[in-house]
């Protein structure tokens, strides 16, 4: 393993999920395989309407998210239980796969999401 420090910036992402006026997700992939995402969801954004079509229309979001909410209010719903959780600025969170979400209110939601490197077996 290389002992070098790697720094990256979200203004130069490896990948960009562009939801036009509704928001965007900038994705960075580190040399270790770890990923970081900066998500911006504008008021009115819903997973169903704005992100689901870009992911190939799965029933629910298939990803596991670990992250931190910088601003706004995001309501995340687990589809199997129907339970909703409100995430607000300052929350560190973990969301299992099988959810959808929407922006609550008139403030932009800004999140940083992390994913550890996938270990190859």
- Examine residue 8 and state whether it is found in any structural domain, yes or no: no
Given a cut of 70, is residue 121 above it in pLDDT?
no
Q: What is the per-residue pLDDT across 5-57, written as a single tens digit (0 to 9) for each? A: 999 999 999 999 999 999 999 999 999 999 999 999 999 999 999 988 888 88
- Examine residue 7 and state whether it is found in any structural domain, yes or no: no
Could you give the number of structural domains in the chain? 1
DSSP secondary structure of the chain? ---------TTS-SEEEE-GGGEEEEEEE-TTS-EEEEEEE-TT-BIIIIIGGGGT--SSB---EEEEEEESEEEEEETTT--EEEEETT-EEEE-SSEEEEE-SSS-EEEEEEEPPPPP-
Could you give the percent of the chain with pLDDT greater than 90?
79
- Examine residue 121 and state whether it is found in any structural domain, yes or no: no
Band of residue 63 on the pLDDT scale cut at 50, 70, 90: confident
CATH of residue 108's domain is 2.60.120.10
- Examine residue 3 and state whether it is found in any structural domain, yes or no: no
Residue ranges making up the domain that contains 77: 15-115
Structure tokens at 117: 């490197």
Q: What is the per-residue pLDDT across 80-93, written as a single tens digit (0 to 9) for each? A: 999 999 999 999 99
- Examine residue 30 and state whether it is found in any structural domain, yes or no: yes
């Amino acid at each position: 393993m290389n002992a070098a420090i790697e720094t990256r910036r979200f203004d130069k992402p490896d990948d960009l999920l562009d939801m036009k006026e509704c928001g965007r997700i900038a994705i960075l992939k580190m040399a270790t395989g770890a990923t970081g995402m900066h998500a911006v969801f504008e008021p009115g954004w819903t997973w169903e309407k704005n992100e689901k079509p870009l992911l190939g229309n799965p029933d629910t979001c298939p990803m596991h998210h670990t992250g931190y909410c910088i601003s706004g209010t995001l309501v995340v719903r687990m589809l199997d239980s129907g339970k909703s959780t409100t995430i607000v600025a300052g929350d560190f969170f973990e969301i299992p796969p099988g959810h959808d979400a929407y922006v609550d209110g008139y403030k932009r939601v800004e999140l940083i999401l992390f994913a550890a490197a996938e270990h190859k077996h």
